[in-house]
Structure 1
Amino acid sequence: MGKYFGTDGFRGEANTVLTAEHAFKIGRYLGWYYNQNSKGRIVIGKDTRRSSYMYEYALVAGITASGSDAFLLHVTTTPSVAYVVRTENFDCGIMVSASHNPYSDNGIKVLDGNGHKISAEVELAMEKYIDGEIDELPYAKMDKIGVAKDYAIGRNRYIGYLISLATRSYDGMKVGLDCSNGSTFNLAKNVFDALGAKTYAIGCDPDGTNINKNCGSTHIEALQQLVKEKNLDVGFAFDGDADRCIAVDENGNEIHGDYILYVCGKYLKQCGKLQGNTVVATVMSNMGLFKALDTEGIEYCKTSVGDKYVNEAMVANGYVLGGEQSGHVIFSKHATTGDGILTALMLMEVILETRESLGKLASGMRMYPQLLKNVRVADKKVIMENEQVKALDKQIAEELGERGRILLRESGTEPVIRVMVEAETDELCEKYVGKMVDLIETLI
């Protein structure tokens, strides 16, 4: 990870960590970088946060000042930006969003011309330009100055693409959607309505400050209640920029990313479509997923946390399914990033083709008790390299043996250490997480 760019772009509190000037300089660098041999073409999307407009305009100013053209998708999803970039000959895509974070945060994600996260080398160069370590870039002059263009048509093409992926009509299916007052508020219901579902949508009234607030993939209680009250067949909750999906089964139970990997992995294997007979997961996935995959004879690859690393493993090996417990799920046949609406459509395919409820489909996987606590620290590396922390980590791992595990890791988006323990009982999880958190807090 760099100074500013973490596992999911440059993210932080608006105008405190991430400022409008940062956005302008990112636009300046990218506008120059992609304008070397021919006029650069950069497409931009944003979520519904109040600050997203500020960053969008700052990026446009930087891009056009460097001579490239900016194409505006307006409020849209991260995966839609990735789709438009790779299918419509853009050099680069930018999404303004802090994903599942509160409205006070925002972020800038940059995608290359293939719809993948931009290379670490380009991120490093942008950081050096932001910090004044690279000479000032030339401004475009006269007719070489770039222009900004409305490109809402790209968003509409993405919607059409999603609809085209459905294998069956959704007629007779009752589906709940929680759009998190975010990027899917004007997209998701249109997709499910077009496919014939009777759709009930909540979280569709963004006001600039209520994105992810008690709704969406990190707060699924309202969706669970909706599914039970309306007797729905299934529900899907998205995060602020819709690269995540958490499902709710017909009984109101949460079906998170690990369950989705199990359900879709098993189905793809049955259809002969699971390339390499392998599912890509992360070190944070529950032990229950791996044991369930073992039972089905499916292999798995574990990566570091972050859909960036999941995607890299999938591209390198040709795998077609990977993701995270948080709901980032990548179906590489159809997309280059996690896509919440696409994930929902893929689950609908399994439900309709197998004629089984989501609850029944997920019943073959048993979750191990898991506890995760975040400890806010001043310097993540100092804590991770502390000898006392290393010794306790080793001790806990030895005591748990094959009956569980402890995982310490630095957050890629926040100044926190994540302490996670899986074990046979909640009591053991509490015990060992508590020991490690207590130690770290004495070192802060």
Structure 2
Amino acid sequence: MSPRQKVLIVDDEPDIRELLEITLGRMKLDTFSARNLGEAQALLSRETFDLCLTDMRLPDGTGLELVQHIQQRHPNVPVAMITAYGSLETAINALKAGAFDFLTKPVDLTRLRELVSSALRLPAPGGTGVAIDRRLLGDSPPMRALRKHIDKLARSQAPVYISGESGSGKELVARLIHEQGPRASQPFIPVNCGAIPSELMESEFFGHRKGSFSGAIEDKPGLFQAAHGGTLFLDEVADLPLAMQVKLLRAIQEKAVRGVGEQQETVVDVRILCATHKDLDAEVAAERFRQDLYYRLNVIELRVPPLRERRDDIESLASHVLKRLAINTGQPAAKLHPQALDALKNYRFPGNVRELENVLERAHTLCENKQIEASDLRLAEGNCNPEGGVPDLTQIDNLEDYLENVERNLILQALEETRWNRTAAAQRLNLSFRSMRYRLKKLGLD
């Protein structure tokens, strides 16, 4: 019979300690209690715990000090903070310091049991490195740092804002955070916020009742309900209209949603991860994104490096892509000529890993004798200067052709980023839809 898991409870109120001890005892857990910071630190030095629940205010210090103490000396132990109702800033500070999650007083016992069960399912720190290595390729210093951050963030329930350029792998990073954490067995629901029509957003996010509006022919759960117990990944969150931002903020704060036409709210247990290629600080400054929602989503920021900052990874990434293409087509893998590899390493890749995959897929199709030459890559000359300076004029034979190539690549990138939604791509390039149609036809992309 395996030993029972142990939980440390830190609170100076006897009634709270007793409530937590009884609730956790019924969950077949052993509990140890401390009335203050000093007693908690003494117990931590003598016993090995699987979880710590601590009040924020203690007679001889704060729960935040205990979180920092455990992070430094007992990093295997997840800590959950218990705060006064409405102390959102305190809870966010605890999450930034390394707390797993937080509860508000009065303690909701259902929420307490969910939190404890989730914390006790956490894998050991660093135990998921091999799985991450297989999915997140590259051994450059930026990628090693990124994997380390993913492993740490997977052990938290804090909202994470994943920043990075289009095509850099933000959704993959979000999936890895989910898959390495305690919610791995529950749903991971990705949603592109820029792809949902504004009039359907509330229904898509929160669900609706049959007959609540024209076309609502049956009850439908929303994305929050679909992600219950798991993770909701809000990609391109900066594209949400302001009216929807208000409703999203309330759903996150209250941990409950009300579908269109519903009278009652539904409690949801969802971890929020979000991403955008836009500069959220600039969006807040321009009053296109609510500052209160920004602070709620951006508890911890994780930056995904662009491909040009990790050129040493290009060779291994290219090899992986070519092997995958060979398997998918049932043909031998193509080889990169050394000059082709140099060309890739000297290219800026504005579309990042996604663009590398597209370039290699095209070259794999066009090359002769399964050997990819530099000419097969068809890289845009305007992005072939690794320092990002002015292109060498001696390499430009025809200005019209050069500018047309740059324009074609920018339009293709915008189409790929918007999943070939022409209206959205035109908006991203600040073009009218009529101008977009004209350019597509002129460039042979129609």
User: TM-score, length-normalised on structure 2?
Assistant: 0.25
Larger Rg: 2
Which structure shows the higher helix fraction? 2
User: TM-score, length-normalised on structure 1?
Assistant: 0.25
